[in-house]
């Protein structure tokens, strides 16, 4: 039975440390601020935004939810972002995705000042990450790297396989693993013999978005397994991309869902907001 990587516990620890840091910063007159822009009434988006707001509040980050109607047009949304780019109360700006179809997501992300892009989705920040320059980093893969660090998972020279190639998880994850000298394979829905490819992994990160997709046949005994999935089963229960019960028998370390990667994502958002506040001061 593999050891559990407890994302909830690590997130709580990091958030406590951030709270101390925010208290310290207050003494020098720095109050980190985060504005979350929510367009429309997607229930999942509302939940995510609410959770970010709660986390910020606990840490002492000044946070604001800017909730605008689904009918806002692109120009109005760009104007709103422009306003927050100039507002020095807010060091981080996050636009909750997805946006309504009449708005070009790429254009919106480009409009955010890269220095305030605490989500790490701006092409300039992704480009800087790609060339190993210090930058804002997408929060989910960044949180996973913090897990490896906390659990002393050695990455150098290891075979890492990332299943999934999204711009915000799979690709930046691969780059972060590469920076730690892992040999990195990016696999995806078009990969032939996905089982065999995954089974070569010492480190397996699964972000394919299909509930219980990764079974024990995909996993080499002793592998470290990270489950980024957030799916709902037929009963509405939150499940990961990994069939935890059987894979945990084989893995050396494994993250659960929930209480695995999820809490770390929010934590890294807070972490980068605090970093941004320090840098912008």
Instruction: Tell me which residues are annotated as active site.
Output: 52, 96, 119
Contact (CB, 8 A) for 226 and 174 = no
- How much is the CA Rg of the chain, to the nearest whole Å? 19
32-71 footprint of its own copies as x/- string (CB under 8 A): ----------------------------------------
Contact status: 174 vs its own copies (CB under 8 A): yes
CB atoms within 10 A of CB 53: 17
CA–CA dist 83, 92 (Å, integer): 13
CB of 48: closest distance to its own copies in angstroms?
21
Contact (CB, 8 A) for 118 and 200 = no
CA proximity to 206, closest of 241, 175, 167: 241
Contact status: 98 vs its own copies (CB under 8 A): no
Stretch of residues binding its own copies (CB under 8 A), selected from 7-15, 47-55, 121-129, 206-214: 121-129
Contact status: 104 vs its own copies (CB under 8 A): no
196-235 footprint of its own copies as x/- string (CB under 8 A): -x--------------------------------------
Query: CA triplet 111, 50, 60: central angle to 5 degrees?
Result: 85
Cβ nearer to its own copies, comparing 18 with 81: 81
Sheet holding 62-68, edge to edge: 62-68, 33-39, 92-95
Tell whether 170 is in a known binding site. no
User: Pairing relation of β-strands 231-232 and 238-239?
Assistant: antiparallel
CB of 127: closest distance to its own copies in angstroms?
3
Within 13 Å and on the Cβ side, how many CA atoms surround 135?
Answer: 23
CB of 193: closest distance to its own copies in angstroms?
9
Report residue 278 as tokens. 């320090």
Stretch of residues binding its own copies (CB under 8 A), selected from 9-17, 129-137, 209-217, 247-255: 129-137
Contact (CB, 8 A) for 32 and 72 = no
CB of 236: closest distance to its own copies in angstroms?
32
Binding-site member from 82, 98, 157, 221 for its own copies (CB under 8 A): 157
Sole residue written with tokens 């997709």: 213
CB of 182: closest distance to its own copies in angstroms?
8
Tell whether 165 is in a known binding site. yes
Sole residue written with tokens 């013999």: 193
Helix (H) or strand (E) holding 4: strand 3-4
Cβ nearer to its own copies, comparing 126 with 269: 126
- The binding site for NADP(+) comprises 164-166
Chain residues in the site for its own copies (CB under 8 A): 106, 122-128, 130-133, 156-159, 165, 167, 171, 174-175, 178, 181, 183-188, 190-192, 197
């Amino acid at each position: 039975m593999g050891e559990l990587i407890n994302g909830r516990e690590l997130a709580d620890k990091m958030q406590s440390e951030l709270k101390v840091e925010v208290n310290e910063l207050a003494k020098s007159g720095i109050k980190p601020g985060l504005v979350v822009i929510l367009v429309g009434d997607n229930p999942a988006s509302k939940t995510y935004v609410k959770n970010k707001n709660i986390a910020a509040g606990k840490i002492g980050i000044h946070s604001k939810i800017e909730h605008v109607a689904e009918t806002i047009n692109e120009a109005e949304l760009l104007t709103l972002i422009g306003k927050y780019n100039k507002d020095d109360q807010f060091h981080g700006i996050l636009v909750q995705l997805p946006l309504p179809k009449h708005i070009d997501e790429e254009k919106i992300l480009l409009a955010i000042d890269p220095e305030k892009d605490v989500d790490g989705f701006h092409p300039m920040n992704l480009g800087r990450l790609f060339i190993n320059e210090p930058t804002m980093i997408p929060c989910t893969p960044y949180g996973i790297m913090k897990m490896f660090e906390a659990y002393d998972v050695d990455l150098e020279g290891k075979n890492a396989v990332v299943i999934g190639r999204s711009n915000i998880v799979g690709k930046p994850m691969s780059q972060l693993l590469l920076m730690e000298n892992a040999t990195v394979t990016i696999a995806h829905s078009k990969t032939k013999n996905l089982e065999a490819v995954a089974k070569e992994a010492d480190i397996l990160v699964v972000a394919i978005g299909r509930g219980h997709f990764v079974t024990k046949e995909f996993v080499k005994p002793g592998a470290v397994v990270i489950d980024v999935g957030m799916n709902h089963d037929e009963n509405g229960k939150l499940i990961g991309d990994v069939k935890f019960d059987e894979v945990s028998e084989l893995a050396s370390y494994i993250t659960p869902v929930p209480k695995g990667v999820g809490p770390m994502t929010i934590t890294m958002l807070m972490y980068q907001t605090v970093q941004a506040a320090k840098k912008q001061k």
